[in-house]
């Protein structure tokens, strides 16, 4: 399947200032993300930003970047602007890869894109939860699927809730229990990507603080690719950045 990757990148970050430009093994983080995205087989990889310094950093490393409006409320709105400017057809598949995922697996990008169909205008990813701490952590989003791997619901709460087992042994995963952690990677059919920013905000997304619930609330379908390997964590804090830097340093040493 042919698909495009757009990487939204804003310079502002509360916990990690200038995050897209943070050096990782001699290259800015956003460039590292673009390099991983290229390995996915994408027909095109574009960084979408509202800052000239990110444009300059990308250009210096041979990465295509496009200036977008500074007023976009989300990365999805930003990539929709890029798709519109590029005049991609309605049936084009556009993948939103976050600009703070320098270790993202290219295969995960391609597999998520492949879940898009004419009847399924949006796709995302998930992986099994094996630790009770993750299930009960409200910062980790869970997703419930139907029989055809389509999302029924996303929540910060532990879902599904095993009424009997959790009543007897709270904070412990019962035998045979299956739960999925949502991965923040999204693919769209371009026609729906252009429609998405016009959808009214739904009450349920405000309660959960999960924007993807807007899609379900309005009756649209989200396909979910289930990976059985745990994707590497992104970069949100200085500690995350040091972890990723060590990874690239080790990779460079091993390649010598």
Q: Give me the pLDDT at residue 256, please.
A: 64
Cβ–Cβ contacts within 10 Å for residue 132, how many? Answer: 18
**For 172-190, what is each residue's pLDDT tens digit?**
888 889 999 999 999 999 9
Reported pTM: 0.92
Q: Of 32-41, 71-80, 142-151, 190-199, which gets the smallest average pLDDT?
A: 71-80
Pairing of strands 23-24, 65-67: unpaired
Hunting for tokens 């693919």 — which residue is that?
Answer: 187
Q: What is the dihedral of CA 165, 168, 172, 178, to 10 degrees?
A: 0
Query: How far is 15 from 148, CA to CA, in rounded Å?
Result: 38
Distance of alpha carbon 103 from the chain centroid: 12
Q: Cα separation of 113 and 246, whole Å?
A: 30
Q: Where is average pLDDT lowest: 119-128, 131-140, 147-156, 171-180?
A: 171-180
What count of other Cβ atoms lies within 10 Å of the Cβ of residue 90? Answer: 10
Average pLDDT over residues 29-45: 97
How far apart, in whole angstroms, are the C-alpha atoms of residue 46 and residue 58? 10
Q: What size, in residues, is the chain?
A: 256
Report the pLDDT averaged over residues 183-209: 95
The residues pairing with 127 across neighbouring beta strands, listed in sequence order, are 181
Instruction: Flag whether pLDDT at 14 surpasses 80.
Output: no
Q: Please say if the pLDDT value at position 255 is more than 80.
A: no
Going by DSSP bridges, is the β-strand pair 44-49/4-9 parallel, antiparallel, or unpaired?
Answer: parallel
Q: Average the pLDDT over 162-172 and give the result.
A: 84
Q: Are 104 and 231 in contact (CB under 8 A)?
A: yes
Average pLDDT over residues 154-167: 92
Residue indicated by tokens 């040091």? 242
């Amino acid at each position: 399947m042919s698909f495009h990757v757009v990487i939204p990148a804003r310079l502002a970050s509360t916990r990690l200032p200038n995050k897209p430009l943070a050096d990782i093994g001699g290259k800015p983080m956003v460039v590292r993300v673009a390099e991983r995205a290229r390995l996915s087989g994408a027909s095109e990889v574009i960084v979408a930003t509202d800052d000239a310094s990110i444009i300059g950093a990308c250009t210096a490393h041979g990465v295509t970047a496009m200036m977008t409006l500074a007023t976009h409320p989300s990365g999805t709105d930003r990539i929709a602007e890029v798709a519109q400017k590029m005049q991609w057809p309605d049936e084009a598949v556009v993948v939103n890869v976050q600009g703070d995922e320098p270790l993202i697996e290219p295969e995960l990008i391609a597999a998520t894109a492949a879940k898009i169909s004419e009847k399924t205008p949006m796709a995302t990813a998930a992986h099994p939860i094996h630790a009770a701490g993750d299930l009960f952590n409200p910062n980790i989003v869970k997703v419930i699927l139907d029989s055809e791997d389509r999302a029924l619901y996303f929540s910060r709460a532990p879902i599904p809730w095993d009424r009997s087992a959790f009543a007897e042994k709270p904070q412990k995963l019962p035998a045979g229990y299956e739960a999925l952690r949502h991965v923040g990677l999204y693919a769209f059919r371009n026609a729906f990507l252009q429609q998405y920013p016009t959808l009214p905000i739904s009450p349920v997304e405000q309660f959960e603080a999960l924007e993807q619930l807007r899609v379900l609330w309005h009756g649209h379908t989200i396909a979910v690719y289930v990976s059985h390997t745990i994707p590497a964590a992104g970069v949100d804090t200085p500690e995350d950045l040091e972890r990723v830097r060590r990874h690239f340093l080790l990779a460079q040493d091993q390649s010598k």
